[in-house]
A = this chain, B = another copy of it.
Amino acid sequence: MYAGKNVTRVDAYDKVLGRTKYTDDLCDKGAYVVRILHSSIAHGKVVSIDTSRAEKIPGVVRIFTCFDVKEKHYFPTAGHPWSTDAAHQDVADRLVLTEDVRFYGDDIGAVVAEDEVAASQAIEAIRVEYEEYPFVLDVQEAMKDGAPQIHKNYPNNILKHTSIRQGNYEEAVKEPGLIKVEGWYETPVVQHCHLENFICYAQMEGDRINIVSSTQIPHIVRRVVGQALGISWGKIRVVKPYIGGGFGNKQDVLYEPLCAWLCMQLGGHLVKIDIPREDTFVSNRVRHSIRSHIISWVRPDGTYAARKLEAFSDQGAYASHGHSIAAKGAGAFPQLYPCENVEVDAYTVFTNKSVAGAMRGYGIPQTMWAVEGHTEEVAARLGMDPVEFRRRNLMPVGYVDHFSKNELYDDSFNQCLDKAMAAMDYKRKYREYQNQTGDIRRGIGVSVFWYNTAVWPISLETSSCRMVLNPDGSLQVQLGETEIGQGADTAFAQMTADVLGVPLESVHVISCQDTDVTPFGTGAYASRQTYTAGFSIRQTGLLLKERILEYAHGLTRMPSYNLDIVDGNIVRTTDGRILMTLGELAAEALYSLNNSQHLTAESTAQIKSNAYSFGCTIAEVEVDIPMCKVKLLDLVNVHDAGNLINPALAAAQVHGGMSMGIGFGLSEQLMFDEKTGRALNNNLLDYKLSTCMDHPRLNALFVENPEPTSSFGTKGLGEPPACSVAPAIRNAVYQATGVFVNKAPVNPHNLFARFKEEGLL
């Protein structure tokens, strides 16, 4: 059994040796390069674009403007599975280049040049005339009557409103003796900051267009490029090489449509779009800033009578993942701390800012910031221990969500909390840090999280797999699920080896997806891959094994039910004798003059189940009150992600997510100029990305309750690590100082304001 073992990443050596090929490594040096002309206003209409000076710059091949886009094929960009039901399709509001400017940085033109210097010079030399409209940057301002209207057909800029009603909130709050706790919570605009910026290139082959892209979702990109170009989807081939991180930003179809369109305008010539970091911040995707308003009505015994959440999610200028992120966050609210009487209203609202899309956690980090901050406040108001208060109210064992049918099968929350508390010596420190005085104070804070693996039943979960047996008994595995740096290929190899009964080194996972030949799968998102691909790996592996044993029957005369594959050998189960190696069988099958068979198997698994992932963070901080500075002393995440296929890789996932959570909690925010709408700190100098310099020891622990619905006992772990870190830090700061900071990040700027308000300064 390889599942559960810390085998070395299958791509470790190539990465260390620099052999791994990323998109730019693969692109022919003769490619034309592109620089995109971004709008320098936040809202308005392009009146004219003067490219005359730019066209004279040596090396400029051609300049395209929004006025060259004659056929207006609006397309959606969200990396969601397609739905053939129009009502369930994503909003199609993008054009490859647009005359209608909706944020500072909108795509209004593109320079194609022989080199990047010429392209950049040409961008500078272009003059644009606009008709300017008023713009709005604040999510609640945008909802007001009379606010600038960003898209037609969306009154008050509301893209969508989700509401949940359980019981009767209005009646419930009348119960005598209830304590009302109310708060507003807000998370900032942050960006994914993956190491490899988005890059893609396109070239025509015959009448088809071939796109190589740094994407998480090659099969979805194919479909969206088809929509964007108005061509049949089979005319598009998308190849995904190794990629340098995505974190959800590459779960949007970013510039593949523009790249393909430019290529087709240039007779199919190779065209490359390599987004600079500065553009990545502004013109890719960001995390939704969500402002949440929570009212809780609690009984003195620490139980909830009624709860209410209003969430205002800042979509930015285009629909992208639309309302699904706010909806996922809204869904967490009544499930994490079930209560009979609940009202939830989540609004996703257009503003004239950079477009928000998927980012690790998909609404849950924002919701946990609000909910777990609020929970801390409720406990404080009740004078209860924050952990005990949570234990009393958290989803109980046996809880079943009526929609997803997800169930809490084990006592995961308490097990995770117990493990985290033990690891941090929580109880002692919690007591010790009560009633501190002085400038420097310490605190220890906790946060739990709830996360839903995968997307069923909201949308399709499907995974197809193909396995190809080599004449030496090794095999290739092809999946539409993508390696994006997280180690997916290694987990897939471990699963495959176990299902087939072959040594791990015999399994070659084809890392590079090619929509022409790779079985259909929707890609890396929603922490779905180990869960969903597990089904197609097991199903296809069993199918291949059946074919192998059937062939073995012909060679050995033994009935196939008395045969098995063990460690790469065909074994007679009745006495354990090795009858032949799998390699001998495979070579004989391939080259048999009697019955030549290339043994392969392929199948689609549709997944109609889903699973909860749970966990918690405990953070220990030291706060320098005069300096308004938080030093993170220690941090632990404990996760129940079911069985771990590779504990070391799982820990690495958690470490990465914790780092992202630290930045979310302490330092990161993309700021916009209120006068122009321009992003102010769209670079890695001014945007305070969390780095290892900001990290304490990152402690990743696990509770492994096998998920009963899962083919390998696994459930999601990709996103959960980023969900509870920031509120745990915030709660630790509260425990240290008695000050609640409701606006993330807990940076000196926000701390100064709160310490002033609370009289600490």
**Are the C-beta atoms of A598 and B519 separated by less than 8 Å?**
yes
**Scoring A residues 252 to 269 as 1 if CB is less than 8 Å from chain B, else 0, what string do you get?**
000000000000000110
In A58-103, the 8 Å CB interface with B consists of 81-84
**Are the C-beta atoms of A508 and B208 separated by less than 8 Å?**
yes
A283: shortest Cβ distance to chain B, in Å?
Answer: 29
- Interface size for A (C-beta < 8 A) is 65
**Are the C-beta atoms of B606 and A595 separated by less than 8 Å?**
yes
In the complex the two chains form, what is the Cα distance from A587 to B520 in whole Å? 12
In A433-483, the 8 Å CB interface with B consists of 457, 459-460, 462, 464, 466, 468, 470-476, 478
In the complex the two chains form, what is the Cα distance from A724 to B45 in whole Å? 73
**Are the C-beta atoms of A602 and B600 separated by less than 8 Å?**
yes
**Are the C-beta atoms of A588 and B84 separated by less than 8 Å?**
yes
A506: shortest Cβ distance to chain B, in Å?
Answer: 7
Q: Is A760 close to B, CB under 8 A?
A: no
In the complex the two chains form, what is the Cα distance from A715 to B319 in whole Å? 58
Q: Which residue of B lies closest to A30 (CB)?
A: B25
**Are the C-beta atoms of A516 and B520 separated by less than 8 Å?**
no
Please name all residues of chain B whose beta carbon is closer than 8 Å to the beta carbon of A205 when the two chains form the complex.
Answer: 14, 19
Q: Is A597 close to B, CB under 8 A?
A: yes
Please name all residues of chain B whose beta carbon is closer than 8 Å to the beta carbon of A145 when the two chains form the complex.
Answer: none
Report if A596-B460 is in contact (Cβ < 8 Å); known contacts: A516-B468, A516-B510: yes
**Scoring A residues 559 to 592 as 1 if CB is less than 8 Å from chain B, else 0, what string do you get?**
0000000000000000000000001000110111
Q: Is A593 close to B, CB under 8 A?
A: yes
Please name all residues of chain B whose beta carbon is closer than 8 Å to the beta carbon of A204 when the two chains form the complex.
Answer: 19
**Are the C-beta atoms of B268 and A234 separated by less than 8 Å?**
no
Instruction: Give the residue of B13, B14, B25, B472 whose beta carbon is less than 8 angstroms from that of A234.
Output: B472
Please name all residues of chain B whose beta carbon is closer than 8 Å to the beta carbon of A235 when the two chains form the complex.
Answer: 472, 474
**Are the C-beta atoms of B517 and A233 separated by less than 8 Å?**
no
In the complex the two chains form, what is the Cα distance from A587 to B604 in whole Å? 14
In the complex the two chains form, what is the Cα distance from A475 to B697 in whole Å? 52
The residue among A588, A592, A593, A600 with the most chain B CB atoms within 10 A of its own CB is A593
Please name all residues of chain B whose beta carbon is closer than 8 Å to the beta carbon of A25 when the two chains form the complex.
Answer: 28
**Are the C-beta atoms of B604 and A598 separated by less than 8 Å?**
yes
Please name all residues of chain B whose beta carbon is closer than 8 Å to the beta carbon of A28 when the two chains form the complex.
Answer: 25
**Are the C-beta atoms of A591 and B460 separated by less than 8 Å?**
yes
**Are the C-beta atoms of A82 and B591 separated by less than 8 Å?**
yes
In A487-510, the 8 Å CB interface with B consists of 505-506, 508, 510
Report if A593-B460 is in contact (Cβ < 8 Å); known contacts: A10-B206, A206-B11: yes
Instruction: Give the residue of B82, B232, B474 whose beta carbon is less than 8 angstroms from that of A474.
Output: B232
Please name all residues of chain B whose beta carbon is closer than 8 Å to the beta carbon of A472 when the two chains form the complex.
Answer: 226, 232-235
In the complex the two chains form, what is the Cα distance from A593 to B471 in whole Å? 38
Please name all residues of chain B whose beta carbon is closer than 8 Å to the beta carbon of A587 when the two chains form the complex.
Answer: 82, 84
In the complex the two chains form, what is the Cα distance from A317 to B582 in whole Å? 37
In the complex the two chains form, what is the Cα distance from A466 to B468 in whole Å? 11
A473: shortest Cβ distance to chain B, in Å?
Answer: 7
**Are the C-beta atoms of A83 and B233 separated by less than 8 Å?**
no
The residue among A204, A471, A587 with the most chain B CB atoms within 10 A of its own CB is A471
Please name all residues of chain B whose beta carbon is closer than 8 Å to the beta carbon of A520 when the two chains form the complex.
Answer: 590, 598
Q: Which residue of B lies closest to A505 (CB)?
A: B207
**Scoring A residues 19 to 35 as 1 if CB is less than 8 Å from chain B, else 0, what string do you get?**
10000010011000000
Please name all residues of chain B whose beta carbon is closer than 8 Å to the beta carbon of A595 when the two chains form the complex.
Answer: 606
In the complex the two chains form, what is the Cα distance from A53 to B629 in whole Å? 66
Q: Is A203 close to B, CB under 8 A?
A: yes
**Are the C-beta atoms of A268 and B19 separated by less than 8 Å?**
yes
Q: Is A223 close to B, CB under 8 A?
A: yes
Q: Is A685 close to B, CB under 8 A?
A: no
A425: shortest Cβ distance to chain B, in Å?
Answer: 43
Q: Is A692 close to B, CB under 8 A?
A: no
Q: Which residue of B lies closest to A11 (CB)?
A: B206
In the complex the two chains form, what is the Cα distance from A232 to B268 in whole Å? 41
Instruction: Give the residue of B17, B517, B606 whose beta carbon is less than 8 angstroms from that of A478.
Output: B517
Please name all residues of chain B whose beta carbon is closer than 8 Å to the beta carbon of A516 when the two chains form the complex.
Answer: 468, 476, 508, 510
In the complex the two chains form, what is the Cα distance from A476 to B600 in whole Å? 17
Q: Which residue of B lies closest to A587 (CB)?
A: B84
**Are the C-beta atoms of A596 and B462 separated by less than 8 Å?**
yes
Q: Which residue of B lies closest to A456 (CB)?
A: B593
A204: shortest Cβ distance to chain B, in Å?
Answer: 7
Please name all residues of chain B whose beta carbon is closer than 8 Å to the beta carbon of A476 when the two chains form the complex.
Answer: 516-517
Q: Which residue of B lies closest to A589 (CB)?
A: B604
**Are the C-beta atoms of B19 and A203 separated by less than 8 Å?**
yes
Instruction: Give the residue of B591, B597, B606 whose beta carbon is less than 8 angstroms from that of A81.
Output: B591
Q: Which residue of B lies closest to A506 (CB)?
A: B234
In A598-622, the 8 Å CB interface with B consists of 598, 600, 602, 604, 606
**Scoring A residues 512 to 536 as 1 if CB is less than 8 Å from chain B, else 0, what string do you get?**
0000110110000000000000000
In the complex the two chains form, what is the Cα distance from A587 to B235 in whole Å? 14
A-B contact pairs, 23 of them (CB 8 A): A13-B207, A14-B205, A14-B206, A17-B267, A82-B590, A82-B591, A84-B588, A84-B591, A232-B472, A233-B470, A234-B470, A234-B508, A460-B596, A462-B590, A462-B598, A466-B600, A468-B516, A468-B519, A476-B516, A508-B516, A510-B516, A597-B606, A600-B602
Apart from A19-B205, A460-B592, A468-B519, 18 more pairs, CB < 8 Å: A10-B206, A13-B207, A17-B267, A19-B203, A19-B268, A25-B28, A82-B590, A84-B587, A226-B472, A232-B472, A234-B471, A234-B472, A234-B508, A464-B598, A468-B517, A508-B516, A517-B517, A597-B606
Interface residues of A (CB under 8 A from B): 10-11, 13-14, 17, 19, 25, 28-29, 81-84, 203-208, 223, 226, 232-235, 267-268, 457, 459-460, 462, 464, 466, 468, 470-476, 478, 505-506, 508, 510, 516-517, 519-520, 583, 587-588, 590-593, 595-598, 600, 602, 604, 606
